[in-house]
Structure 1
Amino acid sequence: MARVPTMFPVAPRLAPRLLRGAGGWDQPRGLSLSKLSSNLEHLLLDTEFDCTDAEIAVEGTPVGIHRCILAARSRFFRDLFSREGSGGNRQEGKPRYVMNELVPGGRIGREALMVFLSYLYTGKLRAAPQDVSICVDRFCAHDACRPAIGFAVELLYASSVFQIAELVSLLQRRLLNFVDKAMVEDVIPILQVASHSKLNQLLSHCVQRVARSDLDDIALEKELLQEVAEEIRLLRRESQPKESTATVDPMLEKRIKRIHRALDSDDVELVKLLLNESGVTLDDTYALHYAAAYCDSKVIAELLDLGSANVNLKNDRGYTPLHLAAMRREPAVIVSLLTKGASALETTADGQNAVRICRRLTRAKDYFTRTEQGQESNKNKICIDILEREMMRNPLAAEDSATSPLLADDLHMKLLYLENRVAFARLFFPAEAKLAMEIAHANTTSEFTGIAKSRSSSNLRDVDLNETPVVQNKRLRSRVDALSKTVELGQRYFPHCSQVLDKFLEDDLPDVFYLQKGTPDEQKVKKLRFCELKEDVRKAFSKDKAGSLLLGLSSSSSTSSPKSEEKYHMVARN
């Protein structure tokens, strides 16, 4: 029988050569895939050669995409692109899609979109950009703060809506780890995305966590879907023994709800009528707390004008109205409360004050991004600035604000920091530092050894071996109090000068005074920095002098006098 000839008799022998010539089998498969992944990511990141064929508008900025890649990776995009006329605006030659229309149930920022697209192009999940995934609380570990949670939630919204199952699974596991570590208020966004995306395991874990917490019923009603809130209430009732359930006066509860509804309607006059008729007070109903959390700033201003509410009253969770306003991050509400006597020093049960709460909720991007002229400032940053100025204005906060760069429980480190700070204040601003020290009675306490060697003279106290630990601690504590008061006065009356000192000490710049040390290039850099420092000092003093509240201060500038110049150069030569 004759053999049937094959169609391509040489194909089996040629195939290996063709693949080797294409860089296929001669290279490890993992390396080839890695190169392909890298090359595809260049399509997304390379701005020199734009070969995108569509755009997604997010936060007002267009992001270029390649529809063939997105359609291959996501059924959502394949269906979207295949629909006739789905491209929307084609005036610029490319179809444009709007993120808020693609994902109506949740917010996805530009950074989250770029990380998501990178995953579609490469199959690898990039690390979250730090400026949007860490807060500005310097004591935070950033393992469960709001920005870290918020970024993961945005990614999960994108992965769920755009139907990338493997990324949904990965992010669900990540958010499960957040739930037990996060504050209960920060669990709410996770619960919302879990409910929206129908992720039962994550949703159940969040519901259990909220049910175990002390989050009040008002927050449940305001933040969650009705069926989820009801499930949490049911779990709470089942977990509490009947004999331990506190009885609630139904009439009082009804009156409280009426007042809260009146606040929702922005009707303070109705609130006054209800208070007069029912005999309850604003404090009984926690009306100020409710308004600080949920109402317009005008409403809370009108409530405060009634003058019948305790502005520093703590609710059952240990929060004052200012704490709730800090969580909301609305500057007008915070200013209204502070103006009526709210204390920025009050802390929650876990030791958080208002500024710490606000810092933990604020992304680094929102705080550190420079605002261009005419551009609206970020509300979070405004809130932090307002609260920090209030903290510095209050003398009771002096020790905390002055020693924040150091561990609060290390007395010697506190002293070392304060002595250095006051020493350089006396060098930069001799007249102002002298006045502040006199008011704080710092001159009546003995100095602590170990301060900066840059001082031209020293009055260090010799160690007294006969001094008991109790007496020594008392002496050091009195020195801390005096120096803290000195720093607080400087921050209050000479804010610009204090900012120069802050930057000087944070940047570890005392070495700039040793101009004769180091290589010639290092000396040159030090001299340039020294000149910049002198100019910063001059400008700061001019600003503070223009707005000084100390009318008895001499009109002569301590930094522009011949004596001050001589001190600078004397230190620089040593």
Structure 2
Amino acid sequence: MMNSTEPSSYLSFTSSSHLSNDSSSFNMSGSSGPDSGASLEVLSLRKLGRNLEQLLDDLTFDYSDAEVIVEDLSVGVHRCILAARSGFFHNLFVQGNTSSPPKEGKPKYYMKELVPYHKVGYEAFLVFLSYLYTGKLKASPLEVSTCVDGTCAHDACRPAINFVVELTYASAIFQITELVSLFQRRLLNFVEKAFVEDVIPILLVSFHCQLDQLLTHCIHRVARSDLDDISLEKELPFEIAKNLKSLRLQSQSDKENEMDLDNTHEKRIRRIHKALDSDDVELVKLLLSESGITLDDANALHYAAAYCDPKVVAEVLDLGVADVNLRNDRGYTVLHVAAMRKEPSVIVSLLTKGASALETTSHGQSAVTLCRRLTRPKDYGAKTKQGQETSKDRICIDVLEREMRRNPLAGDMYISSPAMADDLHAWLLYLENRVAFARLFFPTEAKLAMDIAHADSTSEFICLSASERSGNLREVDLNETPTMQQKRLRSRLDALNKTVEMGRRYFPHCSQVLDKFLEEDLPDLFYLEKGTPDEQRIKRARFTELKDDVQKAFNKDKAKISGSGLSSSSSSSSSQKGCVNYKVTKK
């Protein structure tokens, strides 16, 4: 057996000289030959690997003599195997365990104490542990090494990077050098593909694990990026941030005079940021009045959304003097920054104050896309027990997706993936139904709203019967390119939405009737002849109520706008006669 302090792995599928003397004269058919010993050795090592793997996978008989606690989950391990494979574990077990006395059962070791600089998750530790036992590296579990964005290739998204980072930390701390080399090569491939903010965890692991080649590569990538100095100082060790700023200054030596002017301005901005760090919004107000710098000059909302307590974000928003949709030098809005932080209360506060979920970065990513690219399927689909908090990751995505669906002008955001394309068609269908019902219930008002919105094209596809509709939304025109289809659907969506907006503005009571009608799925009322006698009777009664609601709404809106000069003599009452046989396409 190898010396227990040897850090490198020795289980592999290659031949080993210490077995060749015993098996060199045999192969599987019983004949001798020069390759027979190597073949038998490979088979023996494979069988050994399978047998040792059963110690991890088969829980029928638990032979483990220690436990490693990872993310509050216990993983049974065998100290003899870990000590033989890793010098780190050999020294750990020789020193003895201080976490729990022997009388309490198996010794327990906590991952957060073994790996101080970064977390190693449960799945990453199992992959690493499997390699120690079998010499084989398992494939990365998709639920923790991919994101929930269906359009992502997962070749450089944050979950893919983070999983390899976790494996790198484990391999370096536990002294398995061949794995460190393997994962360092993988991380090198990520550096140029990833967004610069996603390079930060790679830079950190290379710094803490002293991976000089990877560290140099990361530093140069970040130095030539547009990542601001404040972000570097907040997220990186002091010496790394200082090194990065020095590299940047070397390329700006001819701008010393401009830098002197900027230093005064920057100092004032930093005072505002420090006041935000101290949760002192009153001091922020004082600094703003004394310095002449605005919240927008300091990108104070961006800073607060990224680093401050959610209550501070709300207080800064309440000042009412910051542009909630302001872009920083990198082209990120405050909502983009909040989406990357994944703090639901911050996102909700921004949306409540008018932050637009439709804005995209220079890379074409909306806030919800950024959030998806940072979220693992494990976190998004995590089941919570009654009384427990729902996953923050899921809440953030759900809130942003609802905001996108609420705003029909999302455009490209709705067709960036199959799921979003379904949302686009569903929203178009909803708007078409809404305008169609408006023309049935309030024909004059609907036409007036369309005229005010200059939505002449709307009348081309809003027809009074299903058979008259201008084709299925999903109908394919072989002469129509995806770009042409996108423009057509966007134009259609804009026209419908303008009509609905004008209806809400000038005929609010009529719009409320339509809201209730569609939300309660009342279009089924138009099939009065269907269902049991009791169901038909209930439908007729509800239909009578609906007619009364329509007439009351019309009268209220008519009284409200009678002095505005708008002509609104509706034929609503007469329209009800032909409604019963009207068919509507349901979502």
Q: TM-score, normalised by structure 1?
A: 0.73
Contact 2:52 2:133 in 1 (8 A): yes
* Aligned positions of 1:264-283 closer than 5 A: 264-283=277-296
1:55 equivalent to 2:58? Answer no
CA separation in 2, counterparts of 1:28 and 1:484? 71
Q: Distance in 1 between matches of 2:334 and 2:364?
A: 16
Partner of 1:542: none
Question: For 1:56-103, what per-residue CA distance to the aligned partner results, in whole angstroms no more than 9, with x for missing partners?
Answer: 011111011111110000011111111234462545521111111111
The range that moved more, 123-132 or 88-97, is: 88-97
For residues 132 and 222 of structure 1, the distance between their equivalents in structure 2, rounded to whole angstroms, comes to 26
User: Which of 273, 283, 308 is the matching residue for 1:295?
Assistant: 308
- Cα deviation code 1:438-468 (max 9, x no counterpart): 87988733599xxxxxx9967667xxxxxxx
SS of the aligned residue for 2:515 comes to: coil
**Residue number in structure 2 paired with 1:435:** 437
Aligned residue for 1:83? 95
Which aligned pairs between 1:498-537 and structure 2 lie closer than 5 A? none
- Equivalent residue runs for 1:286-325 within 5 Å: 286-325=299-338
Deviations 1:328-361 (A, max 9, x none): 1111111111111111111111111111111111
- Change in CA separation of 1:395 and 1:45 when aligned onto 2, cut-off 3 Å: same
1:138 is displaced (CA, Å) by 1.5
Return the alpha-carbon distance in structure 2 between the equivalents of residues 72 and 377 of structure 1. Answer: 42
Deviations 1:476-505 (A, max 9, x none): 955653368779999xxxxxxxxxxxxxxx
- Aligned equivalents of 1:42, 1:358: Cα separation in 2: 38
Tell me which of 206, 211, 220 is aligned to 2:223.
211
The answer to whether the aligner puts 1:179 opposite 2:191 as a matched pair is yes
Identify the match of residue 515 of structure 2 among 535, 550, 557: 550
> Does structure 1 residue 105 correspond to structure 2 residue 120?
no
Output the amino acid matched with 2:205. V
User: CA distance change for structure 1 residues 420 and 149 in 2, over 3 Å: closer, same or farther?
Assistant: closer
Going from structure 1 to structure 2, the CA distance change for 1:141 and 1:484 (only over 3 Å counts) comes to farther
Matches within 5 A, 1:107-186: 107-186=119-198
Q: Are the counterparts in 1 of residues 366 and 413 from structure 2 also a CA contact under 8 Å?
A: no
1:369 lines up with 2:334 in the alignment: no
Mapped contact 1:422–1:433 kept (Cα < 8 A):
no
- Aligned with 2:184: secondary structure? helix
Q: 1:419 to 1:298 in 2, by over 3 A?
A: closer
Name which of 71, 83, 103 aligns with 2:83: 71
Give a deviation string over 1:229-276, Cα, whole Å, max 9, x none: 111111112234625984343322221111111111110111111111
| Matched residue count | 473
* Separation in 1, partners of 2:519, 2:177: 71
Preserved CA contact (<8 Å) 1:70 1:77: yes
In the alignment, is residue 194 of structure 1 matched against residue 206 of structure 2?
yes
Match of 1:482 in 2: 492
Q: 1:16 to 1:382 in 2, by over 3 A?
A: closer
Give the SS at the match of 1:384. Answer: helix
- The one-letter amino acid of 1:132's match is V
Partner of 2:460: 445
Structure 2 partner of 1:260: 273
- The reply on whether 1:353 has 2:366 as its aligned counterpart is yes
Aligned to 2:341: 328
Paired AA for residue 282 in structure 2: E
Q: 2: distance between equivalents of 1:192 and 1:338?
A: 33
Give the Å deviation of 1:198.
0.7
Residues in 2 aligned to 1:564 and 1:489: alpha-carbon distance in whole angstroms: 32
How far apart in 2 are the matches of 1:488 and 1:137? 31
Query: Is the CA contact (8 Å cut-off) linking 1:395 and 1:488 kept in structure 2?
Result: no
Q: In 2, Cα distance between the equivalents of 1:257 and 1:149?
A: 31
TM-score w.r.t. length of structure 2: 0.72
Code of the residue aligned with 1:187 in structure 2: it is V
Aligned twin of 1:495: none
CA-based RMSD of the aligned residues comes to: 4.0
Q: What secondary structure, in the 3-state scheme, does the structure 1 residue paired with 2:62 have?
A: coil
Contact 1:133 1:363 in 2 (8 A): yes
Q: Could you tell me which amino acid in structure 1 is paired with residue 78 of structure 2?
A: H
Q: CA deviation at 1:304?
A: 0.8
Q: Is the 8 A contact 1:77 1:162 kept in 2?
A: yes
- SS across alignment from 2:69: strand
1:398-444 residue CA offsets vs partner (Å, 9 max, x unmatched): x4455444599xxxxx8x99779978x89xxx977953898798873
Q: In the TM superposition, what is the alpha-carbon distance from 1:160 to its structure 2 partner?
A: 0.8
Match 1:33 to one of 23, 29, 45: 45
The residue number in structure 1 matching 2:105 is 93
Q: Which digits, 9 at most, give the CA deviation of each residue in 1:375-417, with x for residues without a partner? A: 21111111111111111111211x4455444599xxxxx8x99
Which AA in structure 2 matches 1:292? A
Q: 1:91 to 1:482 in 2, by over 3 A?
A: farther
Aligned partners of 2:156 and 2:211: how far apart in 1?
A: 20
In the TM superposition, 1:413-428 aligns within 5 A as none
CA contact (8 A) 2:188 2:214 kept: yes
- The equivalent of 1:284 in structure 2 is 297
Q: Is the 8 A contact 2:275 2:281 kept in 1?
A: yes
CA separation in 1, counterparts of 2:193 and 2:250? 24
Q: Counterparts of 1:365 and 1:266 in 2: how far apart (Å)?
A: 34
Gaps spanning 5+ residues in structure 2: where? 1-20, 31-35, 441-445, 472-478, 501-511, 533-587
Letter of the aligned partner of 1:149 in structure 2?
I
Q: Work out the CA distance in 1 between the residues paired with 2:519 and 2:162.
A: 52
1:238 counterpart (250, 253, 256):
250
Extract unaligned runs of 5+ from structure 1: 1-13, 409-413, 449-454, 462-468, 491-546, 567-574
The structure-2 alpha-carbon separation of the partners of 1:110 and 1:35, relative to structure 1 and needing over 3 Å to count, comes to: same
Q: 1:60 to 1:357 in 2, by over 3 A?
A: same
> Which amino acid letter does the alignment assign opposite residue 274 of structure 1?
L
* Amino acid paired to 1:331: P
Residue among 389, 399, 405 paired with 1:392:
405
TM superposition shift of 1:558: 3.9
Which residue number in structure 2 is paired with residue 509 of structure 1? Answer: none
Q: In the alignment, is residue 42 of structure 1 matched against residue 62 of structure 2?
A: no
Rounded Cα–Cα distance in structure 2 between residues aligned with 1:376 and 1:181: 35
Distance 1:48 1:18 in 2: 39
1:117-139 deviation per Cα after TM superposition (whole angstroms, max 9, x unaligned): 01101111111100000011112
Displacement, 1:556? 8.2
User: What amino acid sits opposite 2:45 in the alignment?
Assistant: L
Q: Look up the equivalent residue of 1:159 and give its one-letter code.
A: S
Structure 1 residues 184-224: Cα deviation after superposition (integer angstroms, max 9, x where no partner): 10100011111100111111111011001011000110011
8 A Cα contact 1:70 1:120, kept in partner: yes
Q: Which residue of 1 aligns with 2:354?
A: 341
Q: Match for 1:94: what amino acid? A: K
1:51 deviation in Å?
A: 1.3
The alpha-carbon distance between structure 1 residues 259 and 554, as it changes in their structure 2 partners (threshold 3 A), is: closer
- Between the aligned partners of 1:417 and 1:334, the Cα distance in structure 2 is 22
Question: Which is further off, 339-348 or 477-486?
Answer: 477-486
Task: Check conservation: 1:175, 1:190, Cα contact below 8 A.
Answer: yes
CA deviation after TM superposition for structure 1 residue 179, in Å: 0.5
